[in-house]
Structure 1
Amino acid sequence: MSFQEVRYRPVLGRALAVVTIVVCALGVAALFWSDPGAALVYAWPIVLVAVLAWALFWRPSLTVAEHGITVQNVLRTYFVPWPSIVAIDTRYSLTLHTAAGRVAVWAAPAPGRHRTLGLAAGDFEGVGQSARGGVGELRPADAITTPSGNLAQLIRGRWETLRDSDAFAAGVDPEASTVQWHWATIAVITALAVATAIGLLA
């Protein structure tokens, strides 16, 4: 039976992106309506904020699939095959430790202190053994009732099943892991930053 693919995007982040972009669009429209000349100067920083909101809050996602994990961050997208994973951590955010280095998942940061204060033992039921440290401790971000902990447990469950069934016996294929830079996003942000600086300093 094939593994059921799971795609995660934080609802709060996407909502924040939508609100920010709408406010920025209204701001640009108001500028052109009231003073088109000033809009040519001051619209650039507003558009820059909108693009940053999209890149920071809308784009990040995590896809857990049968053959590996795709992590879409702000400036790069990673594909991590299951055999490349060494450990799964949640210290600051859900992080995949791989044979080639660490891959932080922007879509799943560790929960804030206010979210972890009410955690109880039941919030950690079913957490995989590989989540525990040297003396068996768990981090608050490992709680399955938090997004980071829930996703970490999903990944650990699949990874531990494959590991224990000797699915990694063939070793790690270094060419299976990929990193794709978001050059278009980088170029647009750079161009808007330059236009903002020129407009404000001119």
Structure 2
Amino acid sequence: MAFQEVVYRPVFGRALAVITVVVCAVGIVALFWGDVAAGLRYAWPIVLVAVLAWALFWRPSLRVQQHGITVENVLRTYFVPWPAIREIDTRYALTLRTSRRTVSVWAAPAPGRHRTLGLASKDFEGVGESAKGEYGELRPADAVSTPSGNLAQLIRGRWEELRDAGLLAAGEDPDAETVTWHGATVAVLALLAGATVVGLLI
């Protein structure tokens, strides 16, 4: 049962992160160019914005792997093994539900209203049965032409394949599902926030 690993990183988010960091860098240079003292005082909030842009828009990713799914969000990375998945939802974002937690995929939010207005029945072709609600309904975010729907269908397809092959029958291993905090990111953001407060108050 061959499976090719898939890695998803939103292009728009990464472009936004790059633009924000470049604008922040220009702002810092301008500050120091005009007044070094002002630069030392007011550069910290600009650096904070740049780091936040990186954490919010550059870092998030989704990795669909042979043994599970790795979700890298802003402050935490989750590994969800296939047997642990109980539900795959797309209401507000691509979301994986297990018996222990709900994991929202920051990299794959549900599409906005302007995107869903143009959806047609062909956009839902091939959506798995496990995506349908009690009465067979589908959400706009389940459309395979949207990132959230496309990724959800990829995950559902793999999950259903493993289920039908009996490879999920053994049940989940509680220790296999992990959460890792991004300690360095949390520390840097806290330090920059503190430096911003100090710089604005002195």
TM-score (norm 2): 0.99
The match for 1:80 is 80
What is the match of residue 31 of structure 2? 31
SS in 2 for 1:49: helix
User: 1:195: which partner in 2?
Assistant: 195
* Structure 2 partner of 1:168: 168
Number of aligned pairs? 202
Any idea what SS the aligned residue of 1:91 has? coil
Structure 1 residue 46 corresponds to structure 2 residue 42: no
Residues 22-67 of structure 1, C-alpha deviation per residue, up to 9 Å, x if partnerless? 0001110111111000001100000000000000000000000111
Residue 119 (str. 1) matches residue 119 (str. 2): yes
| 1:60 match | 60
Letter in 2 for 1:98: T
Q: Secondary structure at the match of 1:69?
A: strand
Matched, 1:135 2:150: no
Identity of aligned residues (%): 74
SS class of match (2:193): helix
Give the corresponding residue for 1:153: 153
- CA deviations over 1:163-202 (Å, ceiling 9, x no partner): 1111111111000011100000000000000100111112
> What amino acid maps onto 2:171 in structure 1?
G
Determine helix, strand or coil for the equivalent of 1:88: strand
2:92 maps to a residue whose letter is Y
1:89 matched residue in structure 2: 89
Deviations 1:46-102 (A, max 9, x none): 000000000000000000011100000000000000000001000000000112110
Q: What is the TM-score when the length of structure 1 is the normalising length?
A: 0.99
Q: Secondary structure at the match of 1:74?
A: coil
Give the CA RMSD over aligned residues.
0.6
Aligned residue for 1:99, secondary structure, equals coil
* Aligned-partner Cα distance in 2 for 1:99–1:158: 19
Query: Shift in Å at residue 2 of structure 1?
Result: 2.4
Query: Where does residue 105 of structure 1 map in the other structure?
Result: 105
Unaligned runs of 5+ in 2: none
Consecutive unaligned residues of structure 1, counting only runs of 5 or more, are: none
